Structures are given as structure tokens and as C-alpha cells.
Structure 1
Amino acid sequence: MEWLIGAFYYKSEADWQFGFLNNGQFQRYDTSANDTFDSESTAFFGNLTYSVTDQFRVIGGLRVNDDQTTLMGGGEGGSSDETLWKAGLEYDFGDDEMVYATASTGYRIGGVNGSALVAAGAPASYGPEKVTAYEAGVKSTLLDGTLTLNAALFHNKYEDMHAQSFVTACIDPNDPLTCIASEFTENGGEIDATGLEIEFNWLPGDAWFFNGSASFLDSEFGEYNVGRVNGLGNLGGRQDVTMTTGEIVAAGGVPSLSLAGWTPALNPEFTASLQAGYVFDLGGGNFLTPMLQTAYSGEYWTFDFNVPGAEQDAYTKTDLRLTWRNEERGFEVEGFVENLEEEAVITRSVIFTPSQADVPTASIQANYADPQIWGIRLGVDF
């Protein structure tokens, strides 16, 4: 029997400032923020592995967490106490193959929204995101120990997910053309994600090396509703934004937008990567290593709202590296080119809808990955 017990403690403090220059170019909140965020986490954990036979093992674990987040030094904040567990089975078919199955729980700590968003109607805090995960797989070493091949099937169910939502600030609450929407975090609904992951690492000789991976993923939102967001347009037929606030009240309710069935952001159905290189021994402790690595991603949504404009097409990104290293001196020089294809890849986007002269200017505010980069790196071991 093998066991491990331990403790964890973490504390951080961060300052954040936010504001708009009131130059009359677009509608803004009539507030600014100067916030202090405090975060403190304490955890105690234990793991146990019990060998039923030489080949069959039972594993288990328990972790107790206490997390505190505070905005503006003792003001609004949130707290969570979570007990997490893990249970599983492992079986060795020999010295080189093992199968396993596990079930476990996890969570992501909650947090707080900035004071400018809270002043406009966003909740001051949000709770933890929780997940129950199931996994079964195989780990193997083949070809006289030169090839490592692993595969895993998994299903994850997320609850109270950390979701994008919006608060709307309006000059005239009855006129959507005078409104803007800004993003904040809240606890949303559910996500179900099922997939397959495969990875390998192959060393066919003293000089060649290869590694790669592939992932297949199917994920979608379960029950998850957000409030109306004025000015966003008709989101795939899911909301009628022609109604004003007064019309909504007159209708006796607050219409909402359902994300059920949509795909969460940044979840392509298929991804794959491959790396290959060769180590030339130049003698005298000098080695020269050319290396190529390429990655493919299927198309994905860059925003939880699956609307036109928030899409990233499938792409391939390739990098080249050439490294010279002197082992005796611990010195190396690397030349590199990244993103040979010069792909413009969106890593995240947010619907942004300012109004200018009473004309809605709906747009997608996007973050991009690095463009093509080339350069030289120097490294020294101390």
C-alpha cells in the first residue's frame, strides 16, 4: 500500500484600474473602477493506492478546500468550501501495458466582478464551477521501450460553469440604440463534454525523435439561459431584440436567451499535433538539432454565443527551430520561425455594441494569437 498526505496554502493580492476617456466618441458607463482583489486558498489532501494483487490496484483520494475571494479589501466577495474525491482501478497486463478507469470531482474557484460592472447591475461575486469526470484508458510502452502510446476516453459534466454574460448600460432604458453591453462572469448552466485523446512519443534511434497527439471532442451547453442583451441583433433566431424594456414589462416578463445546444467557446471537434527532430552529434559536446512541429485545429466558436462573426475556421500552424548546444558549457543558441502559414487565429472574442449618433455599431471584439514570429534565443545553464 502506498499513501500520501499533504497541505496547500495560497494567498494573492492584485490591484486593477478601469476607466473610459469621455471624448464623446461612444457611449460609456458613468463610472470607473479602482479595485483590489484578495484571494486566499487552503487545502488538505490525501491519496491511497492499494495493491490487491501484483497486477491489480485500487486507488482513492480526498481533498478538502477552503477558498476566499474579496473585492476592495473586505467589501464584496465570495467563499467556497469543497470536498473533492477520486476513485479508480488499475490493471497491468504486463510490464509494458496498463489499463485504468477513474471517476473524480473537481472545481474552479469562484471570484468577483469589478466595481464598474457591479454598479451597472452585474452580481458582485460568482461561485465555483464544478465538474464530475469519468475516464478510461490504456498506457503502453512498445517496440522495445522506444514507443510510448497512450489513449483515453473521457466524459466530463460541468455544473455552475463560469460563463460570459452581459450587463447593459443605457442612456434611455426604453431605447436599445442608446445601450452598450459589457461582459462579466456569472454561474451559468451545464456543459457535457465527451472525447477521445491519443498521444505518442517515439525514439526510433539515438538521433531521431517524434511525438504527437490527436483529440476528438463533442461538447455542448445543457440548460443555460441568460437575459436579453439589447442591440445584439437576432442571435440565430433565439431572441427578438426589437422589443424595448417598456414592451418587455408590458408583456409581463423578461425574455431570455437560451444557449442550450450551442457549443462552448474554444472547443474544436478535432485537433492534432506532430513534432519531429534529429540530433546531430558534432563532437566535443556540441549538438545541432533541427526540429519541425505542426498543429491542426478544426473550426470552433470563439464566443459562447454561436453567432456569425464569432467563428474561427480550421487552420494549421507550423514552427521551425534550429538549435546548437554545447553540453560542456551549458550554452545554446536557437533560431526559430513560428506560424509559417501566417495564420490569423482568433483565441477569444466578445460581442461589443456601442452606439454612435444613435446608430448601433455591433462588432466582434477579438483577441488574436501571435502572428508570424522569427528570431534568435540564447540560453545558459547556471
Structure 2
Amino acid sequence: PFTVDLGVPELEIRATYPGNTVKSYAVFGNGDFAVSQKLALTGGVRYTNDKKDFPDSTVVVTLILPDGTRVPQSTRSVANTPSFSKTTWTAGVNYLLSDEKLAYGKVSTGYKAGGSEQGITYLPENVTGYEAGLKTTLLNGQLTLNFAAFYNDYEDLQVAKTVNALTQVENAATATTKGLEVEAAYASANGFLINAGISFLNGEYGSYLDATDPRNPLTDADRANGLVGPDLSGNDLPDAPQIDAILSIEKDIQIGAGMLTPRIDLHHRSRYWGTEFNDFGDYGVLGQKAYTRIDAGLAYAFGQGWSIRAWGNNLTDEEIQTFAVIGGNGSMIASYDNPRNYGLNVSYDF
């Protein structure tokens, strides 16, 4: 048992799990077929069977009032043995436009097994993905430039959350992600190395009715009176910025018998949400505003394996969120990347 201190009152949770068993079996294969020197077909298939055995388990949630009175909130004893199976596949085509240019396209399906949390069974998640692109090598191999467009169609997307201090998974009916990615890498003869990339993404729920909001979960009495959860259809998926771009530049400079290498890295992301509800919450922690992070370093390699490097990360001291969730009883939890930091490293390779 453990107690979640949420101020006044408190929640005490006692859970007994006698031993859960999860078994997964899969058979798969893939292959390539060269139609000609320029055209090739690819394909694969996979069969997966998942079985989950959850024996009788007991979860007791007790509300502890300020005067010490204990009020049982819920007791659930359940046994569940859900099983799922799915055949997934992939098919693609590669076409060599020239020795430096390859065009490709593929269609793939994916599957994530369903399961059971607190006696409530949730459905498997299924996705069909489409991708087409172009890979190129230019300037006698000094420059690579790649393009990709994609579209993913989800059915019964699984959404995990914490409700009344208990983990719960529910299915959003549909969701999609679509976008464009561009990547480039350039290595010059005089020591410059440049990497750049940008992605444009649109990820949203198509149909997500009667969602569970941990900040205001509905009771059985609420549902008996006809109340339903919020409609999140059209909301952005969590952690899905519309723009994500990187740029890194470094150059090797020969100085005597050593090599000096300055480097700078930039990473820009547009605003994104931490949860499916698309709001910042009461404390402003359930989402991330747009930011540009700058890292820089200066390294000097010398002798037989010695190097020294001065570095600084997050030089503009951005608040960069790495995780956000609505916790038990509507609490809001977020974690952040390191603030501005810097240092000096000395190393020896042998």
C-alpha cells in the first residue's frame, strides 16, 4: 500500500496482483525481387498472437479525510484473459532514376495489442502507413539530399492516462499523422560539415468522443444521468509540433600538429501540447511554447589521442519540456531538459 499526498484530503491505494502473464508469438518473413536493374519490389508479412492472463486482482482506493475518517472509494476484483491476433504486411517499390537518385514508395500496416487495466479491456491499435520519397547524392558525393512524404491512418489509437490514481487506457476511434521531411548533409573539401533537416507535421485525432478527463472523471452516477466526457475530435496529438528543424555546422581547422573544430547546433520546434486536451492546464505545464535551442562547442585534438573540448548547451536558457501528464486526482506533472549549462572535457583515446 502507499499514500498519495495531494494536500487535503489524501488517497490511499492498496493493490494486489497475484501474477500477470503476457505471451506473444509471431511468424514473419520478407523479401526483395529485382524486376530489372532499375526496378525492385519489396514485401513482407507478419502474423502476431498475443495472450494476456490477469488473475483475480484487488484494488482498493480509500479517501482519508482531515479528521482521519477513512471513506472507501472503489474496490475492484477482476480476472481477465484477453487475447488478440493480427496479420500485418508491407509492400514497396524502389526505382533507380540514376546512379545518384533513388525514388521509393511503400505501404505498411502495424498493430499494437490491446489489454486490460483495472478490469477494463481496451482494443488493439491498428495503423496503415503510406510513404513516398526521393534519395539523392550530388556534387560527387559531397551532398546528400533526401525528401519524404508520409501519411499514417490510426484506428483505435491507445491513450494512457491516470484516473483516481489508477492507470487506465482507452481508445480514440481514429487519428492521422501526415507530413513532409527534408534532410541534407554536406561535406566540403576544405573541412566544413553541415547537417540540416526540417519536418512539417500535422497530427490530430479524427474521432475521439467521450474522452476521460482525469481532472474531472465521471462517476457511474454521472453517466446514469446522461453525462459524457469531452469531445476531443480534431485536437492535436501530444508531442507533435508542426515544425521541427535542426541545423549543425562544424569545421576542421589544422593548427600545427593539432586539429581545431568549432561546432554549433540549432534545434527549433514550434508549439506542441503535452496531452490530448490541448491546453496548458492551471499551472501552464501541459504544453510547450515554440523554442530554438542553441548548443556550441570548441574542440582541439592534439598529440597521440589527446583532446580538449569546451562546450555550452541551451545557451539561450530555454525552458524545454520533455514530458507532461495529468496525474492522479488531476495533478499535473511535467519534466524539463537542463537549463543553460557548460563545461570543459579532457579526454585521451588509446
TM-score normalized with structure 1 length: 0.73
Of 126, 133, 139, the residue aligned with 1:130 is 126
Matched, 1:322 2:290: no
Of 151, 156, 163, the residue aligned with 1:155 is 151
Question: Which residue is 1:9 aligned to?
Answer: none
Question: Which residue is 2:106 aligned to?
Answer: 102
Deviations 1:51-90 (A, max 9, x none): 2221111111223334455668997565543322111111
Structure 1 counterpart of 2:292, which letter? Answer: T
Question: Which residue is 1:187 aligned to?
Answer: 171
The Cα of 1:373 is off from its aligned counterpart by: 2.8
Matched, 1:335 2:310: yes
Matched, 1:311 2:294: no
SS in structure 2 opposite 1:264?
coil
**Contact 1:159–1:189 at 8 Å: present in 2 too?**
yes
Question: Which residue is 1:145 aligned to?
Answer: 141
Matched, 1:211 2:195: yes
Q: After the TM superposition, which residues 232-247 of structure 1 pair with which residues of structure 2 at under 5 Å, given as runs? A: 232=216, 246=221
In 2, distance between residues paired with 1:145 and 1:188? 46
Of 207, 219, 225, the residue aligned with 1:223 is 207
Question: Which residue is 1:299 aligned to?
Answer: 271
The Cα of 1:101 is off from its aligned counterpart by: 1.0
The Cα of 1:155 is off from its aligned counterpart by: 0.5
Matched, 1:54 2:37: yes
**Contact 1:129–1:162 at 8 Å: present in 2 too?**
yes
In 2, distance between residues paired with 1:322 and 1:350? 37
The Cα of 1:327 is off from its aligned counterpart by: 8.8
**Contact 1:315–1:343 at 8 Å: present in 2 too?**
yes
SS in structure 1 opposite 2:128?
strand
Matched, 1:364 2:320: no
Deviates more, 1:79-88 or 1:288-297: 79-88
Question: Which residue is 1:13 aligned to?
Answer: none
Matched, 1:258 2:231: yes
In 2, distance between residues paired with 1:340 and 1:223? 41
The Cα of 1:374 is off from its aligned counterpart by: 2.4
Structure 2 counterpart of 1:103, which letter? Answer: V
SS in structure 1 opposite 2:45?
strand
In 1, distance between residues paired with 2:20 and 2:261? 45
**Contact 1:166–1:182 at 8 Å: present in 2 too?**
yes
Question: Which residue is 2:46 aligned to?
Answer: 63
Structure 1 counterpart of 2:141, which letter? Answer: G
Question: Which residue is 2:70 aligned to?
Answer: none
Question: Which residue is 1:84 aligned to?
Answer: 88
Question: Which residue is 1:27 aligned to?
Answer: 10
Deviations 1:302-338 (A, max 9, x none): 1111234333211111111233446954x55443221
Distance 1:247 1:207, change over 3 A: closer
> 5+ unaligned residues in a row in structure 1: which ranges?
1-17, 169-180, 233-240, 355-361
In 2, distance between residues paired with 1:209 and 1:189? 45
TM-score normalized with structure 2 length: 0.79
Question: Which residue is 1:348 aligned to?
Answer: 323
Distance 1:161 1:377, change over 3 A: farther
In 2, distance between residues paired with 1:378 and 1:207? 23
**Contact 1:78–1:127 at 8 Å: present in 2 too?**
no
Matched, 1:274 2:247: yes
In 1, distance between residues paired with 2:198 and 2:111? 26
Distance 1:182 1:278, change over 3 A: same
Alignment identity in percent?
A: 30
Deviations 1:96-132 (A, max 9, x none): 011111101123455564xxxx2xxx62x54542211
Of 172, 182, 196, the residue aligned with 1:198 is 182
